[in-house]
Amino acid sequence: MPLVGCECAVCQSVDYRDKRLRSSIHIAVDGRSFVVDTGPDFRQQVLRLRLNRLDAVLFTHQHKDHTAGLDEVRAYNFRSGQDMPIYARSTVLAQLQREFSYIFAEHKYPGVPHVRTTQIVNEPFDVLGVRFTPIEVMHHKLPVFGFRIGDFTYLTDLNYIADAELAKVYGTKILVLDALQRTPHISHFTLDQAVALARRVGADRTYFTHISHKLGLHRDVENELPTTIRLGYDGLQIRL
């Protein structure tokens, strides 16, 4: 991701793959439409995707780069006339309720988002008939949920995964994995750590996400990686 005010080669790059917005994914499965995390760029991301329907939002964790765009779900309220279902663990829901108190107020100002929250724990759950398996990972000291849906697994914001949780990832065909930068970080995998985990899992294809400007130019970094491991970029579509 470019850093505001930075003049490094990545932040100055004209390659669209170096123009990263905050990490988030859209999942289309069984005729349903889901988003994992609504970061500060959520509005811009769904506009670019021309996403005209959204059935539910799931949250990995409560950091602002994954939640700040929640207000924009109101556009989907207007379209569907329905409350937006939101799935997150209790601590994440509690923080959303504090940080977006106007959304959860008893007497709402007209036009504010309408949401319906569901608390999730580390057990598989269904959203509109689609099975999500949470995978608990650690982001320094903060537990974060990744999600497996069929043979697709999304793990962002982590620097540790326990063997029992990793067992849920094995066999996945597509793995999306956090790889922030080359130098050690307190709460994110480095490139080497992410490559090592990707090799252990052995998915058909692994895509790295949550990439900092410090990782290097997209083109250069991909050249160093095995062909089964690629860097994600904004707008990348993956089919299973």
**Contact set with Zn ion (CB under 5 A):** 3, 6, 8, 11, 63, 65, 157, 213
Smaller CB separation from Zn ion, 75 or 217: 217
Smaller CB separation from Zn ion, 77 or 187: 187
CB of 39 to Zn ion, least distance (A): 8
CB of 149 to Zn ion, least distance (A): 20
Smaller CB separation from Zn ion, 36 or 55: 36
- Number of neighbours of residue 58 by Cβ within 10 angstroms: 26
Residue among 183, 189, 181 at smallest CA distance from 216? 181
Smaller CB separation from Zn ion, 20 or 213: 213
Smaller CB separation from Zn ion, 12 or 80: 12
CB of 88 to Zn ion, least distance (A): 14
CB of 188 to Zn ion, least distance (A): 8
Smaller CB separation from Zn ion, 67 or 153: 67
For residue 79, the surrounding DSSP H or E stretch is helix 74-80
CB of 210 to Zn ion, least distance (A): 6
Residue 65's Cβ-side half-sphere holds a number of Cα atoms within 13 Å equal to 11
Residues 60, 66, 71, 77, Cα dihedral to 10° = -40
Angstrom distance (rounded) from CA 1 to CA 212? 5
- Residue type for position 105: A
Question: In terms of C-beta density within 10 A (0-12 exposed, 13-18 middle, 19 or more buried), how is residue 110 classed?
Answer: exposed
CB of 211 to Zn ion, least distance (A): 11
Q: What is the largest CA-CA distance in the chain?
A: 55
Q: How many residues does the chain have?
A: 240
